[in-house]
Chain A
């Protein structure tokens, strides 16, 4: 598992160079956001504070309210209640100034199919007063071979890279990425991660929504886990995993049910949960807990249908909090 332990304070003071707002202001702040669509309460009281230079991951299953939250922050959706400040400014007063400093990649939005890559980038570049050249954008997202290719002929990964390039056209301070790697093959995902990481290394702020815990763990400095329109827990990936009480998860399926307290008595065991016929045990030291678990099972004459172990992930955190898995639809 990769961990990113750096904090926002260590990065370049990118935004202060422009002198438009005090760099002490957080990149994104929102308080008490609420939004309903008819009888559906999509967002039910969300508070966020995202520092400059930070990559912040909003993690949650589909329908958790991530996209609605992000579109409110992006000024594309009006909240029913709540306050939003972007780089110290509000949408009501400074919409134009904010727009120039945001790069936005939307989850479903398309680019015109009948444009070539360079044409699409030239179009988006023309909307911003300053920013990299079209060639530099193409190079940045590794689409040099595809400049004259029509958008409709690009693969899913190439389209997504173009979409991010369009978001980078105005040299933004904040990059919003909504489910950027959904539907992509592993290689395309890694290519996109590298682009996102290079933007952060230059001091940019990123708000990323995803339902892939590995993506959040790799890219995000801090993560908020969202479900049913609320934030359940927030912190660095390490902190969140620590809330599980153990760095390892043993997952097994015994042929007869076992009492939780028997397992809790084993050396090194932190938590015990059951899910269907599966038992999930978290522990700090795998080499202490696993042998004694096997001994216990043997002494009862029990058999195992399956047994796996893995390092604890954000998926386990979500499971512990909600009893569901992130990718359950």
Chain B
């Protein structure tokens, strides 16, 4: 048997090389935080000239809405279904949701966002005036305080998923191709190194970085945006681990034949871009037509994001996301199987 130290040495080597590349450290650790910060701020503190308000269907009649709009032209009243209205509020697309509850009109908004209260006040004035002033409409403010209801709450697990995908694909795919292109791989293959160890070391090094990368993002989201992780840490760890394994495997597959770093970059972008759009990183994939839903649902990033949100936002145990986890494991197994068959060592 060859020295089991070989696997350790290969893993340590990979970690070292990565730590010594400052630009990679930026992409792995700092970029997702900047992304979360940018999106979090963009959607939590807009200074709109218009006031977008979602009106649940059946809350107010059309004549009423028209009068309100005339009284305050800044009000942008959009009739929506309750589900769409909740989505729009979570994503920060509207500042306020109006809903009917018995005789009252409910004003629903996110108390962490400044525009919610301002929109409430403006809408209330318009509503009372439009009703004729003599017969005031009963209203009730309802702050949306449930965990996981704000956009940033929904966004953070998506950023974790996005980060697991991009670091898995780039961290494994790019480095391995670079090693192949500079003939480092050929030099290793000229030794009795067990080839599987080299590939396994890439995955293990990835896991090592997860220990920093994910807690850092979780901590950041909590400190800056008050995003709390609703589920248990073990469930989150399991989802993250399986997600990382899956995208490391896809990284290996992406680079299994690539001769140049330019070539592998193209392949990785082709894998990443559709999933960034379709798999619910920045907005919910339910917005896409029903016809493409089956495709979206089998994408590994969709499964990962759904599982992450189940744990992170909904506080469910990992077992509640068994379907997603199974799909991820299937992707992982398929990726490794193909990558090992196709892998070009020199």
Closest to B179 in A: A112
Q: Are A110 and B187 in contact (CB under 8 A)?
A: yes
Q: B193 — nearest CB in chain A belongs to which residue?
A: A127
The yes or no answer to B183 lying at the interface (CB within 8 A) is yes
A interface with B by C-beta (< 8 Å): 74, 76, 96, 99-100, 102, 104, 106, 108-112, 114-115, 119, 122-124, 126-129, 166, 169-170
Q: In the complex the two chains form, is B6's CB within 8 Å of A126's CB?
A: yes
In the complex, A142 Cα to B17 Cα: how many Å?
Answer: 25
- Is the Cβ of A128 less than 8 Å from the Cβ of B2? yes
Q: Contact check, A126 vs B189: say whether CB atoms are below 8 A apart.
A: no
Given known contacts A112-B13, A127-B3, what 9 new A-B pairs fall within 8 Å (CB)? A99-B191, A110-B183, A110-B184, A110-B187, A114-B17, A114-B20, A124-B191, A126-B6, A166-B187
A-B contact pairs, 5 of them (CB 8 A): A99-B191, A112-B17, A126-B9, A128-B192, A170-B192
How far apart are the CA atoms of A170 and B192 in the complex, in Å? Answer: 9
Bound complex: CA of A100 vs CA of B191, how far in Å?
7
Q: From A104, A110, A119, give the contact of B190 (CB < 8 A).
A: A104
Known: A100-B192, A128-B192. A115 touches B9 (CB 8 A): no
Within the assembled complex, what's the spacing in Å between the Cα atoms of A122 and B192? 14
Residues B6 and A127 in contact, CB atoms below 8 Å apart: yes
Give a binary string over B187-220; 1 marks a CB under 8 Å from any A CB, 0 the rest.
Answer: 1111111000000000000000000000000000
Residue of B10, B179, B193 contacting most chain A CB atoms (<10 Å): B193
Known contacts: A128-B192, A170-B191. The answer to whether A108 contacts B3 by CB under 8 A is no
Give the residue name and chain of the B residue nearest to A106 (CB). B187
How far apart are A252's CB and chain B's nearest CB, in angstroms?
46
Contact of A110 among B20, B21, B182, B192 (CB under 8 A): B182
**CA distance in complex: A71, B179 (Å):** 19
Q: Which residues of B contact A106 (CB under 8 A)?
A: 183, 186-187, 190
Task: Tell yes or no: B113 within 8 A of A by CB.
Answer: no
Docked Cα-Cα span, A128 to B192, in Å, equals: 7
Q: What is the bound-complex CA distance between A26 and B7, given in angstroms?
A: 34
A96–B184 CA distance with the chains assembled, in angstroms: 19
Q: Are B191 and A76 in contact (CB under 8 A)?
A: no
Tell me which residues across on chain B come within 8 A of A126, comparing CB atoms.
Answer: 3, 5-6, 8-10
A contacts with B: majority SS: loop
The closest CB in chain A to the CB of B4 belongs to: A126
Q: Which residues of B contact A111 (CB under 8 A)?
A: 184, 187
**In the bound complex, how far is the Cα of B17 from the Cα of A111, in angstroms?**
12
Contacts of B20 in A (CB 8 A): 114
CA gap between A74 and B189 in the complex, in Å: 10
Beta-carbon contact of B191 and A109 below 8 Å? no
Would A128 and B191 count as touching, CB distance under 8 A?
yes
Chain A residue with Cβ nearest B187: A109
A129 to B21, CA, bound (A): 31
Answer yes or no: B346 CB below 8 A from chain A CBs.
yes
Is B287 on the interface with A (CB-CB < 8 A)? no
Q: Does B125 contact A (CB under 8 A)?
A: no
Q: A76 touching B3 by the CB < 8 A rule?
A: no
Q: Is B16 an interface residue, CB under 8 A from the partner?
A: yes
The 7 closest A-B pairs by CB, nearest first: A99-B192, A109-B187, A109-B183, A126-B9, A104-B190, A114-B20, A127-B191
Chain B: minimal CB distance from A93 (Å): 15
In the complex the two chains form, is A104's CB within 8 Å of B191's CB?
A: yes
Contact status of A76 and B190, CB under 8 A, knowing A109-B183, A111-B184, A128-B2? yes
The answer to whether A123 and B13 touch (CB under 8 A), given A108-B183, A128-B2, A128-B3, is yes
Which chain A positions have C-beta within 8 A of B187?
Answer: 104, 106, 109-111, 166
Distance in Å from the Cβ of B35 to the closest Cβ of chain A?
A: 27
Question: Which residues of chain A have C-beta atoms less than 8 A from B17's C-beta?
Answer: 112, 114-115
Closest to B190 in A: A104
Question: What A residues does B9 contact at CB under 8 A?
Answer: 122-123, 126
CB of B10 within 8 A of CB of A123, answer yes
C-alpha gap A109/B21 in the complex (Å): 21
Chain B residues with CB under 8 A of A169: 191
A304 to B20 Cα, complex, angstroms: 63
Residues of B with C-beta under 8 A to A124: 191
A106 to B190 CA separation, bound complex (whole angstroms): 9
Complex Cα spacing A177 to B14, Å: 27
- Bound-state CA distance A104–B183 (Å) is 13
Complex Cα distance, B9 from A128, in Å, reads: 12
Residues of B contacting A128 with CB < 8 Å? Answer: 2-3, 191-192
Contact with A along B31-62 (1 / 0, CB 8 A): 00000000000000000000000000000000
A108 to B187, CA, bound (A): 9
